[in-house]
Amino acid sequence: MNDMTEPAFSFDDTSEALIPAIIAKYPEGKQASAVMPLLDLAQRQMARQTGHAWVPRAAMDAIARRLSMPSMRVYEVATFYTMYHTKPVGRYHLQVCTTTPCWLRGSDEVMEACRKAAEADGETFSIEEVECLGCCVNAPVVQVNDDVYEDLDGPRTEDLLDRLRAGDVPPPGSMIGRQNSAPEGGPTTLFNVGGGKQEGGAE
Amino acid sequence: MPKVTVDGVEIEVPNGYTVLQACEEAGKEIPRFCYHERLSIAGNCRMCLVEIEKMPKPVASCGQPVGEGMVIHTDSEKVRQARRGVMEFLLINHPLDCPICDQGGECDLQDEAVGYGRDHTRYEGSKRAVNDKYLGPLVKTVMTRCIHCTRCVRFMAEVAGVPELGAVQRGEHMEITNYVERGLSSELSGNIIDLCPVGALTSKPYAFTARTWELRKTDSIDVFDAVGTNIRIDARGAEVLRVLPRLNDAVNEEWLADKGRFSIDGLKRRRLDRPWLREDGKLRPASWDEAFAAIAGRIKGLDGSRIGAIAGNLCDAESMMALKDLMGALGSANLDCRQDGATFDVSNRAFYRFNTTIEGIDEADALLIVGANPREEAPVLNARLRRRWVETPGFVAGLVGAPADLTYDHEHLGHGGDALKALLDPAHHFTKRLAAAKRPMMIVGSQAFARADAAAVLASCWQIALQTGMLTAEWQGFNVLHNAAARMGALELGFLPGDKGKDIAGMMGGGVDVLWLLGADEFDMSRIGADTFVIYQGHHGDRGAARADVILPGAAYTEKPGTYVNTEGRAQRALRAIFPPGEAREDWAILRAASGALGRPLPYDDLDALRARMIESYPVLGEIGVLRRLGHGGGAAPRGDSGSVSDAPFGRAFATYYQTDPISRASQTMAKCIEEIILPRQIAAE
């Protein structure tokens, strides 16, 4: 019985302000459909209040009461989806992609750097190996909480983690200054495009 | 009505049938794990695959509705191959621990593996293992054996109405759990043991006790409530090892409440296995002759009006008949079976029966409960009420009495007589809803009659029933729910004060000089006069035995053949599974022997003769298993004055569901239920 370690939970004012709007999205009598957004809301509230984005059981019970559904049904949803954390995670939850493109581009080193950081300081960093995050062009990538950091390698990852540890959160995206998913080091095609007239193909 | 062809045989089946049901109709057996007639369709085990012509792949027959002209093959090579494949996948993660598994010998997976399993495994990876879950003191889990059919989850959510089980995680990591590691709080939780097709959920008290083929199986009737659940007693040697429900659609379908299933360990503890005699304030072991001599000595010369008898809650009709005859022979009219002090109007059977019948619940569309908690007093019946609520849009339910979680939505209309009086007003919003319903029913708990104004309660309830259309020629919606298995039998036998006879209150405080308690333990023994000579005939050393001057050891319900009448008035017969312990005897035989010792021998020497006499006098008790369902036949209303109901609240029938009688009080399993299910919740609530 883990009741002792489970923190208490109640929705704070910020969350409360959002709940009616969320529930109103669903038809009358189908308010249980709001369970997923409310779980997300609870997880974000936990991040706000404690720094750790997870859903304690008390939060699931609170959601069950709010939506008049059995607690068990909330537990089922929360454990089914990997984006809800039913155990505490670090202040920065690192989701390291190890799918083929990232792996080919050196995700092993990224993983190693993250693992070291998580082992050294579980309070700050927690680590999760995930499948494709959809940023293959800028592989390898790591998702930190809500944001994806791209074009990493071992040293750059360590640098990123150092900055996170120091509370200096860099802007998400490429870590080598690449613009979106444009080619590394600047454009390689369409050099003659200008003056508003576009011609097809490279010269 | 679509016509389908099953393995070359053309049959016609009702609309909405599934392919599986059609195949069964055609006499074909379809293997299945997740499908169950009384639960919703899940379709996740895939074992019931059949081939349907013009469909490209094998189809899970449990979830496929029949269509006109379907040609179904249940035993083609393709089907067998597909099922073998399913079986191989199911067995990948299933441990090979049948020799130490309690389900062994009655396991669906084991049985089907004989037909569809391979002789060896092709799987070389590592099997998954799952932590066992804590589901309370009744259900033992070995979750590695689970094949995720979700029958238990569906049962708890749909039938029991206590959705405490679920499937967490997903895919390879899916687990059946209650997540919170707290005992299941349903009174029907034992049924998930029967439902589990493998050995993942087994009976905790029965763990490692016996193999199914060692057991002697005896048909019997459950006595822990007045539903009359049909049970099968499994015994080995002189020991009852477990109790399982039998199928009876009219009564319990296939469910059994936990008290009936698990309190049997109480049958082995605190038993009275020899006569006892009180001498100088202390009980000493005695012989039967000494015991009878003591009784004869005390009764000799006593006027019949100074002798009384009280029948308990677990008695069979035969023993009560014998006691009634004995009291008659002694010239006593002081009989009572209502230990709770209830008063029933026995001028009309409709006033104290469950008239709608349990099957009739399936037609009701509105419900008023007065002074009862069916969830505690008749869990199986409550599951039926719940199903009706689930299936019927617009089903309304109201409760007058102690607030309770009935597992279905209901309006709490008040605590006592004032709420009842308010309902007499046709303008009351709930009365209007009852009147608007086509087939409204009312359930009045026997607790509602255990008060001074019982006649007025009955009259008010009857009047509400009349006003709201519960009493018509086709529909009799007035019901009394008893909570003692013996009560209806006793009422049918007229085990009630006769002419100038005293009732239980009259027999207390020295109202009689000799008091014969037939398994009567459920009243305050200190009310009995200090000089009253108490004869306790029963099977457990409980409250009655503690007060007794003479103890006559009787038989528990598993140890004697007997007739029990359930709350509907349905007489059912139980058979003897084992013999009573030690010198204990069947109760009717004790009474017959006592009558001889008292010089007034009863006119029967065997049970058949007793039964013949009983049935001759009370034909209802001879109509075994059948029940004529009657509409309201007119007739006079009860005599009470409906206006004089006092405002006092209706009480609860039991302090706790798990301990209500001598057997369950002696049961360690039931004590554990209180400790592990009731107390933690009470603490959490505080």
Structure confidence at residue A191 as a pLDDT band (50, 70, 90): confident
Q: Give yes or no for residue B658 having a pLDDT over 50.
A: yes
**Helix or strand run (H / E) with residue B422:** helix B417-423
pLDDT tens digits, B592-642: 999 999 999 999 999 999 999 999 999 999 999 988 888 888 788 898 888
What is the model's pLDDT at position A188? 84
CB-CB under 8 Å, A1 with B182? yes
Out of B164, B168, B180, name the one closest to residue A79 (CB).
Answer: B168
Pick left, alpha or beta for residue B179 (phi over 0 → left; psi -120 to 50 → alpha; otherwise beta).
left
Q: If 0-12 CB within 10 Å is exposed, 13-18 middle and 19+ buried, where does residue B605 land?
A: exposed
Helix axis angle for A71-80 and A57-66, nearest 10°, is 120
CB-CB under 8 Å, A80 with B170? yes
CB-CB under 8 Å, A71 with B168? no
For residues A150 and A138, is the Cβ–Cβ distance under 8 A? yes
pTM of the model: 0.94
How long is chain B?
Answer: 686
Out of A1, A71, A73, name the one closest to residue B181 (CB).
Answer: A1
> Radius of gyration of chain A from Cα atoms?
21
Sort out which chain A residues have CB atoms less than 8 A from B181's CB and list them: 1-2
Query: Which of A5, A61, A73, A79 should we substitute to test contact with B (largest number of B Cβ atoms within 10 Å)?
Result: A79
* Nearest alpha-carbon partner for B459 in B423, B415, B501, B413: B423
CB-CB under 8 Å, A79 with B169? yes
> Radius of gyration of chain B from Cα atoms?
27
Pick left, alpha or beta for residue B320 (phi over 0 → left; psi -120 to 50 → alpha; otherwise beta).
alpha
User: d(Cα B326, Cα B597) in Å, to the nearest integer?
Assistant: 11
Q: Which amino acid is at A57?
A: R
In A, minimum Cα distance to B181 occurs at: A1
Q: Is B165 on the interface with A (CB under 8 A)?
A: yes
Query: Which of B154, B180, B679 should we substitute to test contact with A (largest number of A Cβ atoms within 10 Å)?
Result: B180
Sort out which chain B residues have CB atoms less than 8 A from A79's CB and list them: 168-170
Sort out which chain A residues have CB atoms less than 8 A from B182's CB and list them: 1
Per-residue pLDDT, averaged over B555-565, amounts to: 97
What is the model's pLDDT at position A202? 43
Structure confidence at residue A3 as a pLDDT band (50, 70, 90): very low
Q: Compute the nearest-CA separation of B375 from chain A (Å).
A: 19
User: d(Cα A101, Cα B122) in Å, to the nearest integer?
Assistant: 33
Going across the sheet that includes B59-60, the strands are B9-12, B3-6, B71-73, B49-52, B59-60
Reduced to 3 states, what is the DSSP secondary structure of residue B369? strand
Per-residue pLDDT, averaged over A16-39, amounts to: 96
Q: Compute the nearest-CA separation of B180 from chain A (Å).
A: 7
Q: Which amino acid is at A147?
A: D
Per-residue pLDDT, averaged over B315-328, amounts to: 96
What is the model's pLDDT at position B237? 93
pLDDT tens digits, B214-238: 999 999 999 999 999 999 999 999 9
Q: Give yes or no for residue A199 having a pLDDT over 60.
A: no
Size of interface A-B (CB pairs under 8 A): 30
* Residues near B583 by beta carbon (within 8 Å), at least 6 away in sequence: B273, B274, B275, B288, B553
In A, minimum Cα distance to B162 occurs at: A70
Out of B157, B179, B182, name the one closest to residue A75 (CB).
Answer: B179
pLDDT tens digits, B179-211: 988 899 999 999 999 999 999 999 999 999 999
- What is the complex's ipTM, to 2 decimals? 0.89
Q: Give yes or no for residue A4 having a pLDDT over 50.
A: no
Please give the mean pLDDT across all residues of chain B: 95
In A, minimum Cα distance to B171 occurs at: A80
Please give the mean pLDDT across all residues of chain A: 90
Q: Is B180 on the interface with A (CB under 8 A)?
A: yes
pLDDT tens digits, A61-72: 999 999 999 999
Q: Is A76 on the interface with B (CB under 8 A)?
A: yes
Structure confidence at residue A2 as a pLDDT band (50, 70, 90): very low
Per-residue pLDDT, averaged over A95-122, amounts to: 95
Write out the two tokens for B358.
Answer: 């349990």
For residues B351 and B599, is the Cβ–Cβ distance under 8 A? no
Q: Which amino acid is at A33?
A: S
Q: Give yes or no for residue B569 having a pLDDT over 50.
A: yes
What is the model's pLDDT at position A200? 47
User: d(Cα B429, Cα B450) in Å, to the nearest integer?
Assistant: 28
Write out the two tokens for B97.
Answer: 């621990």
pLDDT tens digits, B82-141: 999 999 999 999 999 999 999 999 999 999 999 999 998 999 999 999 999 999 999 999
Q: Is A70 on the interface with B (CB under 8 A)?
A: yes
What is the model's pLDDT at position A133? 95
* Residues near B622 by beta carbon (within 8 Å), at least 6 away in sequence: B571, B611, B614, B615
- Specify the range with the lowest mean pLDDT, choosing from A182-196, B506-520, B630-644: A182-196
pLDDT tens digits, B246-279: 999 999 999 999 999 999 999 999 999 999 999 9
Q: Is B158 on the interface with A (CB under 8 A)?
A: no
